[in-house]
Structure 1
Amino acid sequence: MEKQTLATLAASIENWRAPEVPADIPHGDMPGDKVEINQGHIQKANLIFPLLVPLAAKAAEISSRVVVAVCGGSGVGKSETASLLSHYFRSVGVGAYTLSGDNYPRRIPQYNDAERVRVFRTGGMRGMLQKGVYTKQNGCALQKLWVADVDADPSTALDEPWLQVYQAAGRAALADYLGTEREQDYDELSAILAAFKSGAQSIWLKRMGRTEDARWYEAVDFSEVSVLMIEWTHGNSDFLQGVDIPVLLNSTPEETRAHRRARNRDGKIDSPFTTMVLEIEQKELDSCAHKAKLIISKSGELLRYDEYRALMDTQGV
């Protein structure tokens, strides 16, 4: 395929036709990440790409290299859609690379999951102390709830005011941790985006597996790359610097729950703690949604921000 600039691509985008999608297209660089592209992902990418190209061409007037962030909640198809968009750019002669933001937490998944629980429980106990509801009896009852892993379950607190205090304070503490600089290494990723835009020909990118010894860096050749595609829940965060075009793949809380129920083949549902994490992440995504250049619904429709706002308001977000 002959190389072309984003400007020339934008000038002819009305004639663009989606290429075939091979089974082995390159995807995000998270070790062990599994990308399973289906027709729904292709439909979304086909909608986004002709809208994205003119935005990228405009951004390229300032910097010849452009950063696109595909963000959204759990199960919305970030990895698949970002991989398709990069494939589409490459298919028309514009170099693109897909970077997974999940390589940039401060802790490996196991330790970060434990830190999330620690933050919630520590915040909850401190809240009890501040409200004067911590007693030896309540402390012992709380420990039993920890062992059963139901201390975040609202149903356990219906007749226990002290536990309501614990859960509210713990949730507030967790909200101050999730997606912040305490959890994610935004500085490192922002520095990578700055290096990319400055014209770096090769950049060392982080790889993070699921164990402590599965962390390393790889030198990636960016000499032919014009579009850096980030797929990440936090790609539209105020903490991340250097993103030109945030693309929000939206999913309402009910759509997210339905997706996760369908994905759990063994019939198990998310734990109360995981449900709380997803709810907090939904609110974080919502707080930054006004910055998104494109918003796509779960069903694959383009939404204006006011349409998005009306949809989410009906869900209480």
Structure 2
Amino acid sequence: MKSIAEITKNMTDWQPPVIPENIAHGDMPGDKVEIGEGHVQKANVIFKELLPMLEEASEKSETGKVVITVCGGSGVGKSEIASLLSFYLKEAGIGSYTLSGDNYPHRIPVYNDAERLHTFRESALKGMVKEGTFTAERFEVIHEFQKNGDDANPKHTEEYDWYESYLRNGKEGLKGYLGTNNEIGFDEVEEIVKEFKAGTDEIWLKRMGREDTELWYEKVDFSKIQVLVIEWTHGNSDNYKGVDIPVLLNSTPQETLAHRRARNRDGATDSPFTMMVLELEQAMLEHQAPKAKIIISKSGELLSYEEYCKQMEEGR
């Protein structure tokens, strides 16, 4: 098997291959990948930029193995673009496997969503008590909003000035849960990365569906895999190590919401609480953005970090 460096050195004039109707995708059970022209265009731009980085990263690696992550906001196209990059690598003769980070929360989606909401509400009420803004009468108002699933709505501060205390404390509590070790098994992902880079031939990988009976492990053959592609919102997180080339798919919260609506993956797509989650996710992505080796805009343009910052500022 040729090394990554040997292969990439001969790919200076790379042209994208013909993409079949069905290509392999990430290992999230039940996940569907629908590749459009926009995904292909972005993947082509990214791949050309990726080739010299792959060569450099493989030469620095003791086993020649490289870890790429494709990260970005919810619904931005991580699964599709990661699948395309992995397909391009395989077509070039570089063994590749796509791992979905969505297999590694501690809870299945419905329970994790419930835990997020509980964390928000409990933190909000505890914070109000601590600040002296909680009263039984005010809780009656809050409780009605909770029953309607509207208690994360910032518009309530227009009628109740004390409601700012509820929102601020709830958001701070949620911030301490989202994308942290409390929500996600980063240590398990880091161990997989370590095993892969060490040259382990077979690795047990977690599978998590959307039902409480859909949780198991599968042994995957990595003996011929040279590149591990991790597609994950939190792929560029500071909570785990070992990624060589983080790729950031940029989108504003508004663009991310539009993706989620089109995908219609979960209920309450544009609820006030969902918007709060997206806002916090966006803040995490912005915090991690300086580490990204490749940043690409929604329109498919490569961005420097400075251009990325400018785009985000203009999009606010």
Q: Under TM normalisation by the shorter chain, which class is it? A: over 0.9
Query: Runs of 4 or more off by more than 3 Å in structure 1?
Result: 257-265
Partner of 2:107: 107
Equivalent-residue separation in structure 2 for 1:204 and 1:53 (angstroms): 29
Equivalent-residue separation in structure 1 for 2:210 and 2:262 (angstroms): 25
Equivalent-residue separation in structure 2 for 1:175 and 1:67 (angstroms): 28
Structure 1 residue 45 corresponds to structure 2 residue 40: no
Partner of 2:70: 70
Check the 8 A contact 1:249/1:298 in 2, yes or no. yes
Partner of 1:29: 27
Equivalent-residue separation in structure 2 for 1:115 and 1:262 (angstroms): 25
Check the 8 A contact 2:68/2:227 in 1, yes or no. yes
Check the 8 A contact 2:96/2:228 in 1, yes or no. yes
Equivalent-residue separation in structure 2 for 1:65 and 1:15 (angstroms): 23
Residue type of the alignment partner of 1:127? G
Equivalent-residue separation in structure 1 for 2:278 and 2:82 (angstroms): 21
Question: How far did 1:187 drift?
Answer: 0.2
Partner of 2:170: 170
Residue type of the alignment partner of 2:110? Q
Q: The residue matched to 1:230 in structure 2 has which SS? A: strand
Equivalent-residue separation in structure 2 for 1:4 and 1:296 (angstroms): 30
Q: Map residues 1-317 of structure 1 onto 2, 5 A cutoff.
A: 3-63=1-61, 64-263=64-263, 270-316=270-316
Deviations along 1:198-241, one digit per CA (max 9) or x if unpaired, are 00001000000112211000000001100000000000000021
Residue type of the alignment partner of 2:293? K
With 254-263 and 299-308 compared, the bigger mean Cα shift is at 254-263
Q: The residue matched to 1:82 in structure 2 has which SS? A: helix
Equivalent-residue separation in structure 2 for 1:300 and 1:20 (angstroms): 20
Q: Provide closer, same or farther for how the CA distance between residues 110 and 263 of structure 1 changes in structure 2, counting only shifts above 3 A.
A: closer
Residue type of the alignment partner of 2:130? Q
Question: How far did 1:107 drift?
Answer: 0.8
Question: How far did 1:253 drift?
Answer: 2.2
Equivalent-residue separation in structure 1 for 2:23 and 2:94 (angstroms): 15
Question: How far did 1:11 drift?
Answer: 1.3
Question: How far did 1:144 drift?
Answer: 1.2
Equivalent-residue separation in structure 1 for 2:269 and 2:249 (angstroms): 23
Question: How far did 1:315 drift?
Answer: 2.9
TM-score normalized by the length of structure 2:
0.96
Question: How far did 1:263 drift?
Answer: 4.8
Q: The residue matched to 2:60 in structure 1 has which SS? A: coil
Check the 8 A contact 1:150/1:156 in 2, yes or no. no
Question: How far did 1:264 drift?
Answer: 5.4
Q: The residue matched to 2:69 in structure 1 has which SS? A: strand
Q: The residue matched to 1:99 in structure 2 has which SS? A: strand
Equivalent-residue separation in structure 2 for 1:215 and 1:260 (angstroms): 25
Task: Report the count of equivalent residues.
Answer: 313
Check the 8 A contact 1:128/1:162 in 2, yes or no. no
Check the 8 A contact 1:158/1:164 in 2, yes or no. no
Equivalent-residue separation in structure 2 for 1:13 and 1:303 (angstroms): 23
Question: How far did 1:269 drift?
Answer: 5.6
TM-score normalized by the length of structure 1:
0.95
Q: The residue matched to 1:68 in structure 2 has which SS? A: strand
Equivalent-residue separation in structure 2 for 1:180 and 1:51 (angstroms): 30
Q: The residue matched to 1:218 in structure 2 has which SS? A: strand
Check the 8 A contact 2:257/2:269 in 1, yes or no. no
Residue type of the alignment partner of 1:124? A
RMSD across aligned positions (CA): 1.6
Equivalent-residue separation in structure 2 for 1:13 and 1:239 (angstroms): 34
Question: How far did 1:56 drift?
Answer: 1.2
Q: The residue matched to 1:228 in structure 2 has which SS? A: strand
Equivalent-residue separation in structure 2 for 1:71 and 1:125 (angstroms): 33
Q: Unpaired runs of 5+ in structure 1? A: none
Residue type of the alignment partner of 2:97? Y
With 151-160 and 3-12 compared, the bigger mean Cα shift is at 3-12
Equivalent-residue separation in structure 2 for 1:287 and 1:295 (angstroms): 14
With 253-262 and 55-64 compared, the bigger mean Cα shift is at 253-262
Residue type of the alignment partner of 1:236? N
